[in-house]
Amino acid sequence: MEHAVVIAGAGPTGLMLAGELALAGVDVAVVERRVDQQLAGTRARGLHARSIELLDQRGLAERFIAQGRMAPRAQFGGMPLHIGDLPTRHACVLALEQQHVERLLADWIAGLGVPVLRGREVTGFAQDDDGVDIHLAAGGPLRARYLVGCDGGRSRVRKAAGIEFPGWDATTSSLIAEAAMAGEPPWGIRRDAIGLHAISRIEGSGRVQVMVAEQCADATGEPTLRELADALVAAYGTDFGIHAPSSISRFGDTTRQAATYRDRRVLLAGDAAHVHAPDGGQGLDLGLQDAVNLGWKLAQVVLGTSPESLLDTYHAERHPAGARMLRKTMALVALRRPDDRSAALREAFAELLANDDARRGFAASMCGLDIRHDLGDGHPLLGRRMPDRDLVTADGPTRVFQLLHAARPVLLNFGPPGSLPIAGQSDRVRRVDATSAGPWELPSIGTVDAPGGVLIRPDGHAAWVGGADLRGLDDALATWCGAR
């Protein structure tokens, strides 16, 4: 069987990427080793502001918000970080477990007609000038023009491609589990000489979620109930009669990033491209951002709208963004260490975060709102995510994100109607004449001059910012929207 694109992995990254490709009319299929969609236990537990914005850009945000719980604060190295005053409609963390994120995304792509082939794991592949022959552990082989590995930190696709995965080995190890307890534990977070521990109720189930640091930083293998009980005894003096676990997993602070996100017709996204400590809750968000950056570019190449060189901008943009966030997670691990020097570091950061400007800068970074792709000099908005402005158009009031639901480029004109030309590309670029009142505020930047016009890429980033002076508009249209 042949498809234009095959995605290995039906986690949030793979599902989001599949939806992006399907919106563009690309023939895409997803293969997933898990037979059942249901995840065992809890992994990621929420979405940051930029991820909610990405969902809003596709008209999906309300589906997720309705099933989660919004909080105007995040965590920064164990310290609360207020984010409620960031300049976004979604200045919050949306508490929503990964299994629900996957379910909602799976429902979305099912509506778009994307097949998800379960019980199929990629074991290897061979690529040539025209495509990729994909070998599966079960079922017949597949052929695709492009293969995207979204198959996790132990990615078979990355390994088969021979892509190096440099970084840092683990210095900490913790167990996380969902189970029952016979005794009443001390709820909440505690810190001791071993590390950081936490026990919380799972609402409505009579069960608990446990996170407990291990004394051995290089522990490996599938953890057992005995190991979990022993770790609790070391940390609390008792195991509280823990029993009947529904899931036990181990995580550390191993931090690695793929040397390249692309090898000819094979690309990587999500955990296949980068792994890191869970501190700050960045993993799911990084993967969704990878998917939305890659999806429209891969679609334009597959459909012949843009040359294959457009795919090089995926690595050029997402690799530095990922590297920056990986270093932040390493810093967060340092902040939670139990020694006195780390305690002194936390005190210094607490003083720093008491300054509103510093706090808002850290908050924008942790929420993914301050990413800027290097698209040259000019207006501060260039290369950054376009804010979701309220607009008045000839068709009535709307918002910027509503214009992006179809995942098409938008040329937004705030000057005289019809003053921004897109001759020869009107079938690919939607031009909208609009007005927008009030100041323009960007995260980490502050108030900026209102632009006369903005070319918005399908991922929501500004590819050209100008006005009466049209210099650079033709080049931006050709680079990001294809030749006329």
For a pLDDT cut of 70, what percent of the chain falls above it? 98
390-481 fold: Glutaredoxin (3.40.30)
The amino acid present at 403, given as its one-letter code, is: L
Q: What's the number of CA atoms in the CB half-sphere (13 Å) around residue 69?
A: 6
Q: Is the pLDDT higher at 326 or at 425? A: 326
pLDDT on residue 368: 95
CA distances from 420 to 144, 181, 462, 467 (A): 39, 65, 15, 8
pLDDT on residue 321: 97
Rounded to whole angstroms, the Cα distance separating 124 from 165 reads: 18
Domain boundaries along the sequence of the chain: 2-166+256-366, 173-252, 390-481
pLDDT on residue 168: 96
Residues 39-64: pLDDT tens digits? 555 567 789 999 999 999 999 999 99
Rounded to whole angstroms, the Cα distance separating 63 from 105 reads: 10
Residues 110-138: pLDDT tens digits? 999 999 999 999 999 999 999 999 999 98
The rounded mean pLDDT for the chain is 93
What are 133's two structure tokens?
């022959």
Rounded to whole angstroms, the Cα distance separating 397 from 406 reads: 18
Calculate mean pLDDT across residues 149-156.
96
- CB of 369 closer than 8 Å to CB of 86: yes
pLDDT on residue 42: 54
pTM of the full structure: 0.94
The amino acid present at 1, given as its one-letter code, is: M
pLDDT on residue 40: 52
pLDDT band at residue 452 using 50, 70 and 90 as cut-offs: very high
- Which of the following CATH numbers is that of domain 2-166+256-366: 2.60.40.1180, 3.50.50.60, 3.30.750.210, 3.40.50.300? 3.50.50.60
pLDDT on residue 59: 98
The amino acid present at 44, given as its one-letter code, is: A
The amino acid present at 284, given as its one-letter code, is: L
Q: Do domains 173-252 and 390-481 have the same CATH topology?
A: no
SS3 per residue for the chain: CEEEEEEECCCHHHHHHHHHHHHCCCCEEEEECCCCCCCCCCCCCEECHHHHHHHHHCCCHHHHHCCCEEECEEEECCEEEECCCCCCCCCCEEECCHHHHHHHHHHHHHHCCCCEEECCCEEEEEECCCCEEEEECCCCCEEEEEEEECCCCCCHHHHHHCCCCCEECCCCEEEEEEEEECCCCCCEEEECCCCEEEEEEECCCCEEEEEEECCCCCCCCCCCHHHHHHHHHHHHCCCCCEEEEEEEEEEECCEEECCCCEECCEEECHHHCEECCCCCCCHHHHHHHHHHHHHHHHHHHHCCCCCHHHHHHHHHHHHHHHHHHHHHHHHHHHHHCCCHHHHHHHHHHHHHHCCHHHHHHHHHHHCCCCCECCCCCCCCCCCEECCCCEEEECCEEEECHHHHCCCCCEEEECCCCCCCCCCCCCCCCEEEEEECCCCEEECCCEEECCCCEEEECCCCEEEEEECCCCCCHHHHHHHHHCCC
Residues 394-447: pLDDT tens digits? 999 999 999 999 999 999 999 999 888 876 677 889 999 999 999 999 998 999
pLDDT on residue 424: 61
pLDDT on residue 37: 67
Cα dihedral 317, 319, 325, 331 sign: negative
pLDDT on residue 399: 98
Residues 236-272: pLDDT tens digits? 999 999 999 988 989 899 999 999 999 999 999 999 9
Calculate mean pLDDT across residues 189-202.
89
CATH of span 173-252: 3.30.70.2450
> 117, 135, 116, 137: which is closest to 126 by C-alpha?
135
> 238, 271, 240, 231: which is closest to 255 by C-alpha?
271
Is residue 107 pLDDT above 90, yes or no?
Answer: yes
pLDDT on residue 213: 93
What are 207's two structure tokens?
């069960």
Cα dihedral 184, 189, 190, 194 sign: positive
